[in-house]
Amino acid sequence: MGDLRLIFSAFLSIFVVGCGQLPQNTVELFFNRLDKGNVKGAEEMVDPSIMRGYSQIVDLYLQDYSKRMKDCGHIKSISIRQVASGETFRSYFVLISYHQEHTNNDKCSLVARNRVQLLKKDDKWYLSNF
């Protein structure tokens, strides 16, 4: 019986993380998609009202951001700290470590520290500021 609960817990964890239902999982998935060059996948996680009005600007920004992440040696680890929350919004500070060492003055430091905000619409979390 204990093994069955462990398997169910593992399945549930994978399901929740895979679906990005938790806001912090949404943040991590967003940056992992950018790191892998999946800009279109990251754009799917952006607030649809932003994408309707600014899709070309968002696309260019995320293309550049993804390239910078690649140039920095891809993500080594992500640290996410919640700084504000409400029923339909969250704000996080995200610190990304890359495989390539960097200093505070180089291009990698520009994609290492991030403040992101999420909005909940129709039971799904979207990035609204990144």
Assigned CATH topology for domain 22-129: Nuclear Transport Factor 2; Chain: A, (3.10.450)
Neighbours of 68 (CB within 10 A): 16
Phi-psi region of 74 (alpha: psi -120 to 50; beta: other; left: phi over 0): left
Domain ranges of the chain: 22-129
> Is residue 8's pLDDT more than 60?
no
- Calculate the CA 50 to chain-centre distance: 16
Q: What is the pTM of this model?
A: 0.79
Single-letter amino acid, residue 119:
L
The confidence score (pLDDT) of residue 2 equals: 52
pLDDT given at position 112: 85
CB 129 within 8 A of CB 116: yes
- In this prediction, residue 108 carries a pLDDT of 79
- Integer Cα distance of 75 and 104 in angstroms: 17
pLDDT digits (tens, 9 = 90+) for 48-93: 999 999 999 999 999 999 999 998 889 999 999 999 999 999 999 9
Assign 9 a pLDDT band (cuts: 50, 70, 90): very low
Dump pLDDT digits (tens) for 90-121: 999 999 988 876 655 567 776 788 899 999 99
Q: Indicate if the pLDDT at residue 36 is higher than 90.
A: yes
